Amino acid sequence: MSFKPGKSGNPAGRPKGTKDKRTEFRELLRPHAPDLIKKAVEMALEGDATALKLCLDKLIPNLRPQAEPVSIQFNGESLLEKGQEILKAVSKGEITPEEGNHLLASLANYGGLVGKEQSLKRHRDYQSFDAMFKGGI
């Protein structure tokens, strides 16, 4: 069942222009932010573990896993041959399956770009070829 353009799927839903509760809370707290921050720091310095965690969580971002650079010597010239070499490296344990997956995805994206570039070149060649014959032979 599709809805008609301009008609809401939930006519009894939240009215337009109604602020999100989180936005309302932020606006209420904003004028007190400096005092609240100062108090949280004081509590953390006095040994309040929860306040300390709050302060540290804001100062130090969560660690995110970072992949080490991977180097593979490609002997094949085609993208397909390079993909096969990546799969061999995974099967030999030279790189992790996750690294292999990222490399294959990058290779596929690159292949898509190459295909688009070749398609654009063919299109331009066709246009210039077509333009030569528009005026007549």
| pLDDT tens string 20-59 | 889 999 999 999 999 999 999 999 999 999 999 988 888 8
Q: How far apart are CA 35 and CA 108, in angstroms?
A: 53
Domain boundaries, the chain: 23-59, 79-97+105-132
Low-confidence ranges of the chain (pLDDT < 50): none
DSSP for 96-124, please give it: -HHHHHHHHHHHHHHHHHHHHHHHHHHHH
Q: Residue 136: what pLDDT?
A: 58
Give the pLDDT confidence score for residue 100 in this predicted structure.
93
CA 74/CA 84 separation, integer angstroms = 10
Q: Which two tokens stand for residue 102?
A: 């990222």
> Which residue in 103, 57, 67 sits closest to 84, CA to CA?
103
* Average pLDDT over the chain, rounded to an integer: 87
Residue 43, pLDDT score: 95
CA distance 130 to 137: 12
Q: Is there a contact between 51 and 43 (Cβ–Cβ < 8 Å)?
A: yes
pLDDT at 10: 77
Q: What pLDDT is recorded for position 1?
A: 58
- Tell me the three state secondary structure of residue 136: coil
